Amino acid sequence: MDIKPTYDALKQRVKSIENEVIDLKKTLQELYRSHDYLEKLIRYANAPIIVWDPKIRIARFNPAFQHLTGLTPDEVVGKKLSLLFPESSQNESLKKISTSLNGEYWKSVEIPILCKNGDIRITLWNSANICDDDGTTVLATIAQGQDITERKQSEEALRDSEDRFQKLLNSVNDVVWAADLNGKMLYINTAAEAVFGKPSSEFLKNPKTWITAVHPEDRDETFVQSNLLLDKGRVENKYRIITKNGRIKWLIDKRSVVYDKTGNPVQIGGIATDITKQKIITKENIRINRALKLLSESNRIIVHGNDESQFFHDICKNIVGIGGYLLAWIGFAKQDRKKKAYPVAQYGFEDGLLDMLNISWADTKQGCDPAGTAIRENKPVICQNILTDPDFPIWRDEAVSRGCASAIALPIILNGHARGSLNIYAFEENGFGSDETELLEKIARC
């Protein structure tokens, strides 16, 4: 039979229901507060926030997103997300969207957004999926973005600026370089290849590439200047280098220290200029001036001299003393069958060289000597490098051992015919420039 609840039991049951209702109200209040909090969080967030459903339709977005795009909820809510993407990047963007629906969380994914006015804003997105109670079924995806358009533009402008600066550095003839405090090359422009004959990459790979190219006679002083750089902050020195193909060039290297804001040195850099041409011009001018002075003195000797033997001797002496050459001698041609030439005057260091020459002006192998050729062909003969000139005669080694590096033979002309030659030897290669040769010819015609 049915047992009716007692009054106390009913009272207790009512009290229990009342407590459940109170708890339910509290839960609802918490839910309302949480919902209100989340709504305010999304609404008042400075970052653009957007939500889309599993069918990739726009569910909602916050005012910051509206400010970013210029679009209102009435214009886009419920529509496909693809309308937010520029046509050029739409497929790529949709691929990224599909990865979020497959459970992948975005961390700083870059997606361009098409605004209402046609502008394209580059935005960096983070995303999270809102799932059903089973924890796997995606109900929606929420993404928060950061407009990085200005930053991207600044980066692009910086890259363009760096590219222009790089092109500018590579357009100059000077070698521009930078290295860390240990000497490891950080940068060097393409002029290095033209100056050193070695690619820039070789300097970056091997820090010793530069110093090993410095002429051995100049290397110690270069080391000294390098060691003074950190103390002085700036140094400058001139030195020779030997290029990959063996050419000798002169550089002026201006180096300085780069400091940070606190005054601490952070790296070194410099500009090396090829001054070989200036050196050659300077040297050529010195030679020309000496030749002019020599010509003037030779004219004075002609005016005041009356002894032919002394005259030839004085000419040779002035060529060495005033002209700065190693050796000068005058030879005259014998007008006989053997066609020999014999020295009549000489001055300078020859150490028995003239005794072994056996000069001939005949058109034979022995007559290929500069002196004989000048007499036979009645024209100047110049050998700018005795060591390597294939036309220089068999006594090359004897001349080189006495310090002769280059030579010139000038015909001495009487009545339109070459009767002898004025022969001059220099300490250095390429010792006779065109202007200098022209002045020396005038002396030979005295």
Tally of structural domains, the chain = 3
Same domain for 370 and 338: yes
Same domain for 193 and 63: no
Residue 102 lies in a domain: yes
Residue 167 lies in a domain: no
- Domain stops at, among 274, 291, 310: 274
Same domain for 339 and 315: yes
pLDDT of amino acid 44: 75
Same domain for 437 and 308: yes
Same domain for 325 and 285: yes
**Are residues 393 and 368 in contact, defined by beta-carbon separation less than 8 angstroms?**
yes
Q: pTM here?
A: 0.52
Residue 158 lies in a domain: no
Same domain for 309 and 390: yes
Same domain for 304 and 269: no
Can you give the CATH number for the domain in which 231 is found? 3.30.450.20
Q: Where are the beta strands (DSSP E) in 101-182?
A: 109-114, 120-131, 138-147, 175-179
Which CA distances in Å does 233 have to 183, 256, 419?
15, 6, 64
Helices (H), 271-425: 276-304, 308-321, 353-357, 370-377, 396-401
Same domain for 352 and 414: yes
- Cα–Cα distance measured from residue 313 to residue 330, given in angstroms and rounded to the nearest whole number: 9
Residue carrying the six token digits 């001495």: 412
Residue 96 lies in a domain: yes
Report the alpha-carbon angle 128-132-135, nearest 5.
70
Range of the structural domain that residue 74 is part of: 45-152
Same domain for 286 and 270: no
367 half-sphere exposure, CB direction, 13 A CA radius:
15
Residue 39 lies in a domain: no
**Are residues 181 and 259 in contact, defined by beta-carbon separation less than 8 angstroms?**
no
pLDDT tens for the chain, 446 residues long, are 555 667 677 677 767 777 776 767 676 666 556 556 667 777 878 889 999 898 999 998 999 999 999 999 999 999 999 999 999 999 999 888 888 777 677 778 899 999 999 999 999 998 888 888 787 888 888 889 999 999 988 888 888 887 887 887 788 889 999 999 988 999 999 999 999 999 999 999 998 999 999 999 999 999 899 889 989 999 999 999 999 888 889 999 999 999 999 999 999 999 999 998 888 777 777 777 777 787 777 777 666 667 778 888 888 898 888 888 899 999 999 888 888 888 889 998 777 777 777 788 888 877 788 888 899 999 999 999 988 888 787 778 888 888 889 999 999 888 778 889 999 999 888 888 887 888 888 877 76
- Domain stops at, among 274, 305, 320: 274
Residue 29 lies in a domain: no
Tell me which residue of 216, 226, 281 sits closest to 248, measured CA to CA: 216
Same domain for 388 and 301: yes
**Are residues 391 and 417 in contact, defined by beta-carbon separation less than 8 angstroms?**
no
